Amino acid sequence: MSPSDCARVVDLLADYLEQRLPADVRMELDRHLDRCPACLKQVQTYRSTVSLLRSLGDDDLPSELRSSLRAFLDRGSTN
Ligand SMILES: [Zn+2]
């Protein structure tokens, strides 16, 4: 897997988890996640962070929070 694929996964992660991606892009991501433990871990981290936030009572994440989550994940991926 090339690093650019991983960058793409990070880029699409929020839309992926909110099921806003077209089916073909989703499938492409799923295939990548099957082979890339690093990205799979990012997905799991993101998902548990989002569900934690939602369990606090906010079902619709403010865009500010969404971008800070994204920034958090971006930092994680550049290490
Ligand atoms: Zn990857």
Length of the chain: 79
Tokens (6 digits) for 8 = 């793409």
pLDDT in tens, 15-70: 998 889 999 999 999 999 999 999 999 999 988 888 877 777 655 667 787 778 77
The predicted model scores a pTM of: 0.61
| Spacing, Cα 14 to ligand 1 middle (Å) | 15
CA distances from 21 to 8, 17, 26, 54 (A): 13, 9, 6, 21
Q: For the chain, what is the domain count?
A: 1
How much of the chain exceeds pLDDT 90, in percent? 33
- Report the pLDDT value the prediction gives residue 61, as an integer from 0 to 100: 65
Q: How large is the angle between the packed helices 23-35 and 3-17, nearest 10 degrees?
A: 120
The span from the first CA to the last CA of the chain, in angstroms, equals: 17
- Report the pLDDT value the prediction gives residue 78, as an integer from 0 to 100: 53
| Spacing, Cα 8 to ligand 1 middle (Å) | 8
**Domain containing 50 — which CATH number?**
1.10.10
- Report the pLDDT value the prediction gives residue 44, as an integer from 0 to 100: 92
Give the list of residues 6+ apart from residue 59 with CB closer than 8 angstroms, or none.
none
CA distance 58 to 72: 19
Residue span of the structural domain in which 53 resides:
3-77
